[in-house]
Structure 1
Amino acid sequence: MPSRYRNFRNSVPWLILSLEAVFIVLFYFVFPYDDKLIKSYPAFQDVNHMMIFGFGFFLMFLKRYGFSTTGFNLLLIVLGVQCSVLIDLFVLLLQRQSKCHLARLIEAAMSMTAVVISTGAVLGKANPVQLILMTVLELIVFRMSRWMNNTFLLVTDSISMMHVHLFGAYFGLAISSCFSEPSPRTDKNARTPKSDLLSMLGTLFLWVFWPSFNSILSDRKWRVIYNTYFGLAVSAVTAFALSALTTKDGKFRMRCLNPPLKLHDTSGVHFTFGMPAVLGALAQVILLIITNWNNLPSMGYLVMIQVGAFCLTISIALITGLIAGLILNLRLFKSIPVSKYFEDQFYWEFPHLAVGF
């Protein structure tokens, strides 16, 4: 184990310091600040709370991986938002377009949601170097996916950004397929009442701030907030009802769904984010058909655009996720042994044992 610690000591600090130095130089030369749209800051703050507190606690269900979950989540977010802003800036320069700097920061924070979702699929299995590299690769590919949707399918920014859940879930699942699966007899990825309580707290944060996330780029904010809130309300009621109906004793319990894929998905991103995104895309198509039933040419075009954007996004996510997974598992990036999965002690100093977390 000491040799492994030396490897991370010699790689992680220099990697993040090098990235930060590059970010500082680039921001100084190509990112002048302004105070336009400062009224959008409360909405940006909601998205920030959702990512840091919401996902930070939501993923804290592993009994021995709480420090790594919240710590790496914060590290990836602060590095990733800077990286995403610069990627978006270069794309806009190539397209000879301009955009308010706060709007860029908001979109960068939203793009990081895809990375955080993907992280859930490899939680406890990927080391910090792999997670940082995954963040940079995914942000580049997700921005490319949005650009293709905007350019070839003429999908608006607000609609293409809603594919963040779809992209993040299936990109993460494709990467997870390249990692070794933990032994089915291990209990290190088990939960405790305390860790489940923290995860539920994160779920509440996500629930509260999700309307802001959905509406922040929309021109019809109140309509989106209205629909999102009541959609969440119906989903919560249905979840309580199904939880009681599917247990033998009629009691509520956390995460009662079985993984639908023969693939180790640490935090269940497939049924938490992937399947809802698929069902949401299907619902959108159905609603378009109902709304434009009397205008068949318009209906056919709109349906084709929605289906095309969905297929393009999920295809890019799966293909590039698989390639990224193969890259991350190169010997250069020192994958951790399966016996050390889901262990805080592999990365953090403890004055006491992590057993009982």
Structure 2
Amino acid sequence: MAPLYAPSLRSRLAPLLLFLQIGFIVIFAFYTEIESHVKVDRTTFSNLYAEFQDVNVMVVLGFGFLCTFLVRYGFSGSGFNLLVAVIATQWGIILNGIESWYYRGKIRIDFKSLVVAEMCAASALIAMGAMLGKTNPVHLIIIALLEVSGFVLNQWLLQTLLKVRLLNSIMLLHIFGAFFGIMLTWNLHRNGSKQRFEKEKFDSKSGLFSMLGTVFLWMFWPSFNSVLVDDHSLGRKLGAVCSTYLALAVSAVTAAAVSVLSNPKGKFNLIHMQSCILAGGVAVGVSMSAVHLPWEAMTIGFIAAVVSTIGFRYLKVHMQLAFQCHDTCAVLSTHGLPGLLGWLAQLFLQIRDSDDHTVAIRFAVFHISALLITIALSLCMGIITGLLLKWNFWRPPQDKKCFDDQAFWEFPHLAVRK
């Protein structure tokens, strides 16, 4: 029988957070500076700030509310999301600025560096979704640090070895985060997950809050995909926004249809809807540089929603039974499969639009190499992180304390009075 209370994290979590935050403050004090000498007019500043805020809303509110679908894990889903996001963003700024520090002696901070760091944090939040409810905050902080480190290393390898552009390397965050999370949950498999966890369920209230997170993500996803598009050509940025919106619209309609068709009673499934309607945005984001026509984006959104919904319906159970991968938020179906579909669409569209066969073959080789490096590095980092988190020093929660806020949060009205 499990003990009444979960292990206290006072001696683990507080020192870790204070050590990290003081370390970040010291690094920012001596090695960073704000890029203030760049001349930016009022209109340009307003546009840049608006795009930064859109990404910020997605990371904090979108992912935060999305993680509240578990009936007894709402405090942790939203609270830990914010904690992981802010730590991962600070760590991302530092890691992405290492090259600037090496050549200039300072890490330059501007809107672009903040946005790139928040996208790195989004990759960590995707990986966290696979482990949602089965870890404690100490685990989540370690996951965030190592996942962001691996993702930044992956960017550097792709940009250095294969000359991949920043936009294309960043948008692989869906694939990297999903496979990192899958490998992590495979390493940290619990025997209790063979049967459904006792508290792994949702109700109307938690489902409504979670759907609110989906709405935030759906509304701001065009900004997320277009924020790093070259702004010297307004047509490209407008094309990215329109393509993302159309793909999201098509995926929302398609996910609703497939959800009803796959239900024996012909009813909508809220969990299917809130995750799979985002599949079009994921797929188009990965293939953004090759999508030029509206129908291409709509087709990608349609296929992505079908693949994501079917994967959510059937793949999650089979992954758990066959490979012992208990993927709480089904990040493989929500981010992994649509990301792979977007990668495949980009490969097909680039080869179709190329007039030179030699150039097309060279692109295919480099494109396939980029995917293999990304998946290999994400799996390796997932294994390393999983092995580190198996150490009982981090005091993992017992099976009966999984998906339960009371293991970590104070509930005065439920306190035992003596």
Instruction: Tell me if both proteins adopt one fold, taking TM over 0.5 as the criterion.
Output: yes
Match of 1:332 in 2: 393
1:288 aligns with 2:289: no
Match of 1:192 in 2: 203
AA of the residue aligned to 1:177 = W
AA of the residue aligned to 2:352 = I
Rounded to whole Å, the distance in 2 between the matches of 1:267 and 1:185 is: 14
Rounded to whole Å, the distance in 2 between the matches of 1:245 and 1:287 is: 30
Match of 2:167 in 1: 158
Query: Relative contact order, CA 8 A, sep 6+: which one is greater?
Result: 1
Summarize deviations over 1:280-312 as a string: whole Å, max 9, x none.
1111111112111x3211111222222111111
Task: Spell out the pairing of 1:205-220 with structure 2 (5 A cutoff).
Answer: 205-219=216-230, 220=236
Q: CA deviation at 1:231?
A: 1.0
Rounded to whole Å, the distance in 2 between the matches of 1:83 and 1:307 is: 29
Match of 2:53 in 1: 45
The total of aligned residue pairs comes to 352
Secondary structure of the residue aligned to 1:224 is helix
Summarize deviations over 1:84-124 as a string: whole Å, max 9, x none.
11111123334669865221111001110110001100001
Rounded to whole Å, the distance in 2 between the matches of 1:290 and 1:327 is: 45
AA of the residue aligned to 1:202 = G
Match of 1:268 in 2: 330
Q: CA deviation at 1:222?
A: 1.3
| Residue 229 of structure 1, aligned match among 236, 245, 251 | 245
Summarize deviations over 1:21-48 as a string: whole Å, max 9, x none.
1111111111112344634111110001
Kept in 1, the 8 Å contact 2:7–2:397? The answer is no
Q: Structure 1 residues 88 and 31 mapped into 2: Cα distance closer, same or farther (>3 Å)? A: same
Match of 1:342 in 2: 403
Q: CA deviation at 1:185?
A: 4.8
1:90 aligns with 2:151: no
Task: Provide the TM-score with structure 2 as the length reference.
Answer: 0.80
Task: Spell out the pairing of 1:1-357 with structure 2 (5 A cutoff).
Answer: 4-6=6-8, 8-35=9-36, 36=38, 38-39=45-46, 40-94=48-102, 101-181=110-190, 182-183=192-193, 184-219=195-230, 220-256=236-272, 257-258=313-314, 259=316, 260-262=318-320, 263-292=325-354, 294-353=355-414
Summarize deviations over 1:177-216 as a string: whole Å, max 9, x none.
1223334153301111111111111111111111111111
AA of the residue aligned to 2:245 = Y
Match of 2:295 in 1: none
Secondary structure of the residue aligned to 2:124 is helix
Secondary structure of the residue aligned to 2:112 is helix
AA of the residue aligned to 2:331 = V
Q: Structure 1 residues 113 and 270 mapped into 2: Cα distance closer, same or farther (>3 Å)? A: same
Kept in 2, the 8 Å contact 1:125–1:179? The answer is no
Measured on the aligned residues, the alpha-carbon RMSD in Å equals 1.9
AA of the residue aligned to 1:265 = D
AA of the residue aligned to 1:209 = F
Kept in 1, the 8 Å contact 2:226–2:241? The answer is yes
Rounded to whole Å, the distance in 1 between the matches of 2:28 and 2:103 is: 19
Q: CA deviation at 1:148?
A: 0.2
Rounded to whole Å, the distance in 1 between the matches of 2:196 and 2:80 is: 27
Q: Structure 1 residues 246 and 353 mapped into 2: Cα distance closer, same or farther (>3 Å)? A: farther
Kept in 1, the 8 Å contact 2:5–2:407? The answer is no
Secondary structure of the residue aligned to 1:188 is coil
AA of the residue aligned to 2:329 = S
Q: Structure 1 residues 54 and 185 mapped into 2: Cα distance closer, same or farther (>3 Å)? A: closer
Rounded to whole Å, the distance in 1 between the matches of 2:394 and 2:196 is: 27
Q: Structure 1 residues 138 and 300 mapped into 2: Cα distance closer, same or farther (>3 Å)? A: same
Rounded to whole Å, the distance in 2 between the matches of 1:233 and 1:99 is: 38
Q: CA deviation at 1:2?
A: 7.9
Rounded to whole Å, the distance in 2 between the matches of 1:323 and 1:5 is: 24
Summarize deviations over 1:302-356 as a string: whole Å, max 9, x none.
22222111111011101111111111111222222222111100000113459xx
AA of the residue aligned to 1:204 = V
Kept in 2, the 8 Å contact 1:56–1:73? The answer is yes
Summarize deviations over 1:122-177 as a string: whole Å, max 9, x none.
00111111111111111111100000000001001111000011101110111111
> What stretches of structure 2 of length at least 5 have no aligned partner?
231-235, 273-312
Secondary structure of the residue aligned to 1:221 is helix
Secondary structure of the residue aligned to 1:52 is helix
Match of 2:305 in 1: none
AA of the residue aligned to 1:77 = A
